[in-house]
Every structure is written in structure tokens, then in C-alpha cells.
Amino acid sequence: MTDPAALAARLLDGDRAALARVITLIQRDPRAAAALDPLLAPATGRAYTIGVTGAPGAGKSTLVGAMLLDALGRGQSTAVIALDPESPLTGGAILGDRLRMERAAIDDRVFLRSVTADARGGGLSAAAPLIVRALDAAGWPWIVLETVGVGQSELAIAEAAATTIVVLTPGAGDEVQAIKAGLMEIADVFVINKADHPGVAATRRDVEQAIAHARGRAWRPVLVEAVATDGRGIAPLWDAIFAHRAHLEATQALADQRRRFLKLAVRTLAARALDARLEAWMNGESGRALIERVERGEASLPGACAEVLGGLQGGAASGSA
């Protein structure tokens, strides 16, 4: 059993092993996470978070690897959390990401961690916001969150990140559908990656059209073409991030973003806790009896729902949270 105060002190002192230990505890031990968070909180609020999302295989990890190398060249430290939707047991994508980022990872000014995403958190693991806070407290100035964008998760990441990058590839009709389906609203920067492939001009036109329709937004999304595999477009991508950051800082929007991040953090933790209680109640005696009454036609579905909510409230009142 590690003493939380000693561990937190080491993390705040810049001890990398302590940071790794804290991140492991956050993922495996909610009680330890609860004890650590208030010790780290006073040191948070300095990191800048960047969300990178896009379809599977769009080149997100390669792009992030290239971004890390570019940042290293400018003497900047960067931490990356790769949110993996797969079970940790399959591990394939995680290992692949590790290998792709390997060159940058050798440097001690880079910190990489893969986290399994959780469908209940809108694709964002309930641990992810706590990990962001730990990295922030440990003094990492740039935190990149990579997530596969296939639905709710992009929206969650947009809430969590100050700058959201949506990675597209040329010639993919699906991408244009994705733009229509709401990715447009969350993108601060669009990257057309794999610009060495044909169809860049057509994709660029589609994205520019979508940007033109997004009038009335305070920030006009920037479009960058990149070839992540050879580093092309990476410096302009960082420039777009710097410009967006300057915009947020000039308009007080950064404070709003921090509040949105905290809201997301509390909501994902509460959703996980509620879901666990709900599951326990449904599997308990009252839950099973309720389902039998629904089966006999003695309770309606909405009526049963109301009873469940009432039952959970009773549980909270008697302190069995």
C-alpha cells in the first residue's frame, strides 16, 4: 500500500516513476484515485490539451508521433494518452501505436500511455480526465489525447480538449458524411492526412465548403494538409494549434473550456458509479422481484423505471452508495 501523500509529493517533484504509478492507480483503484486527486488538484491548470480524432487508420498515431518529434525539436515536452476502444487483452492497436511513436518515445521529454476507452463514458474512459489532471499536476505543458472517432467519443473529446484536431484522408466519402454528422462542430483544426494519396483537392473542397457553412463561430477552423509518415505539414499544424490557443486566451474561452473539462470529468465518474449501483440493484432481490411483476403485467415499463430510480435514491439515503 503506497502512501498517497508521499506518492503525490514525488509526482509533484517531477518523478516519472511516481507519475506512472499514479496513472496505474487511477485506472485500477478508484479509492486510491480519490485519495490522490485532491493532493494533485492545486498544481493543475497549466497544461494545454489537444484532442486528435478521426476514422480508424486515418494516421492519427503517426501524426501524433510526428508532432512529438517536431515539439522535441523545439525543446517542448509532450504527453500522449492514446484511448483505445479495444479490450486491453487484444492489445494489438496499443502495441502498434507504441511502435509508431517509438522514435519520439525514447526521449524523456515524451510520456506515452494507452488507456482502454469505456463505452459508458461516451468512448472516453472515466480514468482519462483523472489522468489528464495527473499529467497537468506533474507539469506536462502539452497533453495530446488520441481517440478513434466513430461516434460519441469525438464529442466527449472536444469537451475535454482545448484544441480539437479532426484527421481526414483524401477521397473518403465517409469523411464528408462525418463532417455533416457533426464533426464539423467540434473541429478547431482539420488535417487532411495522407496528402500523398490522390483526391486531396476534392476533399479539400468538401472541407472548405463545410467551413464556409460554419459562419457565426468565433473561431474559423483551419485546414492543414499533411503526410504524417514524412513529417510534411506538421509545422503548419503546430502553427494552427498555437493560433487557436492564442484565440482562446484572448477571448476568455480557455476558462470556459476548463469548466467543460471539469464537467466532463465529474459526469464520466458519476456515470460509472451510477451504472455500478444500477447493475447491483437490478441483480438484487428488489430488482428481480420488479422484473417478475413486469412479466405478470402488474407493473408497466415506465412504472418499473420510476421504481428503480426510487430504489436507487433509497440506497443513497441509507448510505449504501
Ligand X SMILES: Nc1nc2c(ncn2[C@@H]2O[C@H](COP(=O)(O)OP(=O)(O)OP(=O)(O)O)[C@@H](O)[C@H]2O)c(=O)[nH]1
Which residue of 32, 128, 191, 228 would you call a contact of ligand X, by CB under 6 A? 228
Cβ atoms within 10 A of the Cβ of 72, count? 17
Q: How near is the Cβ of 119 to ligand X at its closest, in Å?
A: 16
The answer to the question of residue 93 lying near ligand X (CB under 6 A) is yes
Strand order in the sheet with 222-225: 110-116, 78-84, 142-148, 48-54, 163-168, 189-192, 222-225
Measured between alpha carbons, how far is 15 from 38 in angstroms, rounded to an integer? 18
Question: Strands, E, within the chain: which ranges?
Answer: 48-54, 78-84, 110-116, 142-148, 163-168, 189-192, 222-225
Q: Which residue is nearest to ligand X (CB)?
A: 59
Residues recorded for the chain: 321
The answer to the question of residue 229 lying near ligand X (CB under 6 A) is yes
Count of residues near ligand X by CB under 6 A? 18
Residues that bind Mg ion (CB under 5 A): 60-61, 97
58 binds, among ligand X, Mg ion, none (CB under 5 to 8 A by kind): ligand X
Which residue of 38, 56, 310, 314 would you call a contact of ligand X, by CB under 6 A? 56
Cβ distance 103 to 65 under 8 Å? yes
The answer to the question of residue 310 lying near ligand X (CB under 6 A) is no
Cβ proximity to Mg ion, 67 vs 299, nearer residue? 67
Q: Which residues pair with 148 in a beta bridge?
A: 54
The answer to the question of residue 105 lying near ligand X (CB under 6 A) is no
On the CB side of 305, how many CA atoms lie within 13 Å of its CA?
3
Q: Which of 103, 108, 52, 114 is nearest to 78 (CA)?
A: 108
Cβ proximity to Mg ion, 57 vs 314, nearer residue? 57
Q: How near is the Cβ of 271 to ligand X at its closest, in Å?
A: 24
Measured between alpha carbons, how far is 106 from 225 in angstroms, rounded to an integer? 27
- The vertex-97 CA angle with 92 and 98, nearest 5°, equals 100
Q: Which residue is nearest to Mg ion (CB)?
A: 61
Write the binding mask 120 to 159 for ligand X: x where contact by CB under 6 A, - elsewhere.
----------------------------x-----------
Part in contact with ligand X (CB under 6 A); list of ranges 11-19, 189-197, 269-277, 295-303: 189-197
Q: How near is the Cβ of 61 to ligand X at its closest, in Å?
A: 3
- Reading the block at residue 280, the C-alpha cell is 447491483
The answer to the question of residue 227 lying near ligand X (CB under 6 A) is yes
Which residue of 53, 61, 116, 153 would you call a contact of ligand X, by CB under 6 A? 61
Q: How near is the Cβ of 97 to ligand X at its closest, in Å?
A: 6
25 Cβ contact list (under 8 Å, min separation 6): 2, 7, 32, 33, 36
Note the residues at the interface with ligand X (CB under 6 A).
54, 56-62, 93, 96, 100, 148, 193-194, 196, 227-229
